[in-house]
Amino acid sequence: MSKTVLILGGSFGGLHVAHALLKKNIKDVKVILVSKNTHFFWNLASVRAIIPGQIKDEDIFKPLESALSRYPAESWELVIGTATEADFDAKTVGITLADGAARTIPFDQLVLATGARTNPDAPWKAPGSYEQALAALHATSAGVANAQHIVVGGAGGTGIEVAGELGYEYGKTKEIVLLCAGDKLANGHSVAASAASELAKLNVTIKYNARVVEVRPSADNDNKTVVVLANGETVTTDLYLPTTGQVPNTDYIPARFLSGEGDSATAAGTVVVDEFLRVAGTQNVWACGDVVSKPRAGFFITQKQAASVAKNVEATLAGQQPAVAKGPPADIFACAVGRGRGVGRINNSIKLPSFVVWLSKGRNLAIPMLKGYIDGSIA
């Protein structure tokens, strides 16, 4: 009797797990990958894709079909839709398909890799379908081209990279402002001072203790946006680019499997997992990536989690015990600051030289790695 491994999410974590399982060609096992997007999106490059003329759509969007079609047709299925309801006891997931129809998919093993979204929707994550993701990127790029004053809200890694890209391209011709809610960039990480110094070289103005509480259209009907800060100050701009407010895509998961506001071990609304990355209270449901956000959301962390989940799903299918999930050998934070520099650290104590960050990330935002997610060599 064949068994079904249902994977929810066609991005870094989900596609990695799919490749790892399909490459094993496990007998009588079918992998069903559910994705809201027909394309794999290399969103690490979205910060540069908003700069007109820098990155082609086809360089960061690749059809998921092309990634899976290398495997025997009977071993996989790609479903374009969104998970709307999961019943871990009944071993079923309700899917709303792209055409609006409903489908219920039973599973033997379930992998949750639905990631997170930005709130409000922004191009740093795919806001929906392939067409919607393209539209968001193109609209933002057009806004960047037309704006003379641009405000970036949020000074975490994404905010720093967005401000850096804008400063590198337009620092001498447009006013670029980065709003930081606290008194240091990057949540006070050891790279904060270096990041501020690099942004200053690109003529980016940083406003500290500038937490955004409201964003509204200008009352003057002049196509401008008013950004209201917690201290009562307002900033009027041609274009506001928010980089905060990441929300895990876990609305379809029963609340008892999610962390609460008071759980300091992981972000609110994310999935609670054990040391095997198995959802707590289940035997056959696993999670990786931004739906877990433990120890934090991050590309390298997602890679390692996906590899562990794939091995544990395979072991469970074979009637074996899962292994404790392994994380990266070190906690690495690397942040490109424009197309020429970067900041980074290892374990919050070892500083990465700017050249090393540029070479590994800033030069091309790791776009060459996308190939591995299509040809399967990532797994």
pLDDT tens digits, one per residue of 73-113: 999 999 999 999 999 999 999 999 999 999 999 999 999 99
Q: Are residues 163 and 227 in the same domain?
A: yes
Output phi, psi for 328, to 5 deg. -60, 150
Task: Identify the CA nearest to 296 among candidates 236, 222, 246.
Answer: 246
- Assess whether pLDDT exceeds 90 at residue 337: yes
Last residue of a domain, one of 328, 346, 370: 328
Least Cα distance to 271 among 106, 86, 120, 93 occurs for 86
Listed residue (237, 241, 228) closest to 165, CA to CA: 241
Say how far apart CA 224 and CA 238 lie, in whole Å.
Answer: 5
For the chain, how many structural domains are there in total?
2
* CA separation for the pair 257, 129 (Å, rounded): 27
Whether 267 and 237 map to the same domain: the answer is: no
The pTM assigned to this predicted structure is: 0.95
By residue range, what is the domain housing residue 299?
3-119+246-328
Residue 26 resides in a domain: yes
* Same domain, yes or no: 46 and 69: yes
Question: What is the structure's pLDDT at 296?
Answer: 80
What percent of the chain shows pLDDT beyond 90?
A: 87
User: Does 33 have pLDDT greater than 60?
Assistant: yes
CA angle 138, 142, 146 (to 5 degrees): 170
The answer to the question of residue 377 being in a domain is: no
Note the pLDDT tens digit of each residue in 231-290: 999 999 999 999 997 889 999 999 999 997 544 445 789 999 999 999 999 999 999 999
* Model pLDDT, residue 266: 54
* Higher pLDDT, residue 189 or 371: 371
Note whether 19 and 108 are same-domain residues. Answer: yes
Strand pairing category for 285-287 and 109-112: parallel
- Answer yes or no: is pLDDT of 140 > 90: yes
The pLDDT score that the predictor gives to residue 120 is: 75
Instruction: Note the pLDDT tens digit of each residue in 176-225.
Output: 999 999 999 998 889 999 999 999 999 999 999 999 999 999 998 789 99
Domain CATH code at residue 22: 3.50.50.60
Contacts of 216 (CB under 8 A, 6+ apart): 225, 226, 228
Query: Quick one: pLDDT at residue 101?
Result: 98
Q: Given the DSSP bridges, would you call strands 234-237 and 239-242 parallel, antiparallel or unpaired?
A: unpaired
